[in-house]
Structure 1
């Protein structure tokens, strides 16, 4: 990869997700083009003086954002995405197929386990205390020790020693989509939220309760909801987060109304092409200004 980059006469080099792979993490500390740019495929600054700009969105940042990056920020007024709608074929009797109880309210948080900040436990505990016959559905970690550690922590921090928490083995794509569709509500971890999973949830119409933090990694779902004009699903604080989650799970009419609104918004959002055009225009403007 280094040889190819060194012998290619680039005007600009775009890294889509520095930090998601050791190779891109290493490459980002070298200079291969006059202008080097990163974006939020990995939702954090690269920390590298070799990366000149970070392409982000106005809805992904707050007033303190300039202090979170070593790069200069290029703000788009949308997420910069043209996202192909995930293919999903609704199955019958999904709960039975996934080993889930048929008559229990399900709160889903099928996120990578390193996103479960210890302070999230208090929010989960409050939800489970207010809905004591419900279950919280998670996905086991790629490394077994991650799951063991989180189970041990939940035994200390959640009601009834964490017995309302159900871990599923990692699922094939269609089964994962079925899980997103069958839970009553999805919980976005406040300190490091979902990205693709939130977009997939929109595709199947399941509400995701989210709460914005100061960093990009906690603002992807809220930015998506702002584009979809679903701002009322963005909780202002921990209390509102818990209230919204339990209301959606318990009030089936309200849940059905939200699902209908989400699917209607999704039908418009997934066919938009403005995101990629604006992203490309931003890159071209950078190159033009650098010459």
Structure 2
């Protein structure tokens, strides 16, 4: 018995230290000594689950339950395994049984909340988090998980308060500090922002799990820090799995491209990409959609569905099941259109279901994972001396990396400035970027621009009321009347594009530029002024403006950006010349030539297929 106890203690220690394979071996040895020990079976199931051996883990947990069916913790653990296997209702049943056996077991309520978040029912998850917190007021993880649900519901104020509480309870809760930073950015709550950012970066540089990659891009302009962030996050959330066993299939005369995305609907990624889907050469390519989102019934969704050879709904599949489906479909190149943005499925790529796997468009940065082979870019967003900050090989397009759809419709409604509360006279600066992209440094510049042009106003998108109030308060602190900061409510895209024509100049943000929003403005005929940044996300608008041949709208420094914004307001004839050039170039330069762009993209795909065989390092 003493030998068994020592082996069990050693196995549990290995589990705690992350040595899961060693723990599994020790626990298997313990079972030979005591095969009817329910706890050994339970710990063995944990060791297997943590290695991704979920089916084996289920067998072990069932053995534990057979020996001791009254252990509520074991039933909750079984629910976790079933959740990972995509058997959601069975998982809920296990959690409910755990609660029946252990009414005060807060973790079971927390687990149910997590399941509902995973199946995109964030509102439903809240009641379970609340119950977990009611049982265990100091349960930091439940508090943090509830904050994530609130963020998905765009209840940013409430999310911020829950994050604060969770940090007080557990300052080192993984990635929570970065969520706190990003939520403050969403609310334009800049109090203590510099110190918080420094804390996030310092922790991350020391290897701590302080922040996820997407939120950090809104405030960080260091490619080195962004790369470290992605690597830490990928290793924690989406580690490489054992690749799927190779399967033989007859050669196909066409290259099969799989696009995996959670936004095949009326959303920015599809607004940019739909024309590309439609323009693919059907004699050389078959294109397949692997949809992790939903059908919103929009005209754009109808176009998307019609463009693909076939669409697969993977929302109810596990990562492994989705990977197997992709492999069975014979996909040659699998394109990750989400990365760390939106409703992506990064875990599917971890099984390497396709010979070539690509990071493109949705996330402007490195994934930081070994199973993503290429990142599609252009020489402006990733210059040659920046390649070392990206784990992927860089596949360069000859012009702008960002797709655009030349079929986008602009409403012909007659709109006036009065319709949107804008002054009939005076200069209208605008920025329709998400509010989290507005940093104090950018806002300082904007306020000096307004002060230099006394009849001007700044027109921003209305993300949430708190952000609007905070921005107006920040304007007053900088000596600008709050009434000069105006907000645009969200509209259907055709009308949103049309209202751009009421503004005079689009002011870009740093360190995270306008991406789709810059394309919107340029398509609608509104000049965009940008400052070229130090990261992929901060160089996108420069790429767009280069592709439409308006290099004079790219500033090389914040000071030059500020001076040019003032000059254009004071010299309307110069701005009018830019407007004329924009209109002339809109349909004659590469930026909005969807057909030409798609041909370039297809050439890159063909190069990747060759690169997979020849170990080619860069595609130029």
After TM superposition, the score normalised by the length of structure 2 is 0.44
> How far is 1:253 from its partner?
1.8
**Would you say the 8 A contact 2:511–2:534 is kept in 1?**
no
Residue 17 in structure 1 maps to residue 338 in structure 2:
yes
- The equivalent of 1:281 in structure 2 is 603
Secondary structure of the corresponding residue to residue 519 of structure 2: helix
Distance 2:375 2:487 in 1: 36
**Would you say the 8 A contact 1:18–1:28 is kept in 2?**
no
Distance 1:22 1:91 in 2: 33
- The equivalent of 1:168 in structure 2 is 488
Residue 102 in structure 1 maps to residue 424 in structure 2:
yes
Residue 68 in structure 1 maps to residue 389 in structure 2:
yes
Residue 221 in structure 1 maps to residue 561 in structure 2:
no
Question: In terms of mean alpha carbon deviation, does 242-251 or 255-264 score higher?
Answer: 242-251
Q: Choose 1 or 2 for highest CA Rg.
A: 2
**Would you say the 8 A contact 1:207–1:262 is kept in 2?**
yes
> How far is 1:243 from its partner?
2.0
**Would you say the 8 A contact 2:377–2:395 is kept in 1?**
yes
**Would you say the 8 A contact 1:210–1:221 is kept in 2?**
yes
Distance 1:27 1:216 in 2: 25
Secondary structure of the corresponding residue to residue 282 of structure 1: helix
**Would you say the 8 A contact 1:204–1:263 is kept in 2?**
no
Q: 1:93 to 1:84 in 2, by over 3 A?
A: closer
- The equivalent of 2:233 in structure 1 is none
- The equivalent of 2:148 in structure 1 is none
Q: 1:52 aligns with which of 373, 377, 380?
A: 373
Secondary structure of the corresponding residue to residue 138 of structure 1: strand
- The equivalent of 1:257 in structure 2 is 577
Question: In terms of mean alpha carbon deviation, does 44-53 or 123-132 score higher?
Answer: 44-53
Question: In terms of mean alpha carbon deviation, does 127-136 or 11-20 score higher?
Answer: 11-20
**Would you say the 8 A contact 1:16–1:41 is kept in 2?**
yes
Distance 2:469 2:611 in 1: 52
> How far is 1:275 from its partner?
1.7
- The equivalent of 1:39 in structure 2 is 360
Secondary structure of the corresponding residue to residue 486 of structure 2: strand
Residue 231 in structure 1 maps to residue 526 in structure 2:
no
> How far is 1:209 from its partner?
0.6
**Would you say the 8 A contact 2:447–2:475 is kept in 1?**
no
**What number of residue pairs does the alignment pair up?**
289
> How far is 1:240 from its partner?
1.6
Q: 1:256 to 1:210 in 2, by over 3 A?
A: same
Distance 1:131 1:30 in 2: 56
Secondary structure of the corresponding residue to residue 285 of structure 1: helix
- The equivalent of 1:147 in structure 2 is 468
> How far is 1:68 from its partner?
2.9
Question: In terms of mean alpha carbon deviation, does 107-116 or 61-70 score higher?
Answer: 61-70
- The equivalent of 2:560 in structure 1 is 240
> How far is 1:63 from its partner?
4.5
Residue-by-residue CA offset, 1:199-245 (whole Å, 9 max, x unaligned): 22222221111110111111122111112221111112122212221
Secondary structure of the corresponding residue to residue 588 of structure 2: helix
Greater relative contact order, per chain length (Cα 8 Å cut-off, separation 6+): 1
> How far is 1:15 from its partner?
1.0
- The equivalent of 1:116 in structure 2 is 438
> How far is 1:56 from its partner?
0.5
Higher helix share: 2
Secondary structure of the corresponding residue to residue 218 of structure 1: coil
Residue-by-residue CA offset, 1:24-44 (whole Å, 9 max, x unaligned): 344344422222111133212
Distance 1:271 1:76 in 2: 14
**Would you say the 8 A contact 1:13–1:37 is kept in 2?**
yes
> How far is 1:92 from its partner?
3.2
Residue-by-residue CA offset, 1:10-30 (whole Å, 9 max, x unaligned): 322111231222433443444
Distance 1:98 1:162 in 2: 16
1:192-211 matches, cutoff 5 A: 192-211=512-531
Secondary structure of the corresponding residue to residue 128 of structure 1: helix
Distance 1:289 1:21 in 2: 29
Distance 1:32 1:151 in 2: 49
> How far is 1:267 from its partner?
1.9
> How far is 1:108 from its partner?
0.3
Higher strand share: 1
Residue-by-residue CA offset, 1:162-193 (whole Å, 9 max, x unaligned): 44211222222233213311111110112111
Q: 1:5 aligns with which of 320, 323, 327?
A: 323
> How far is 1:148 from its partner?
4.0
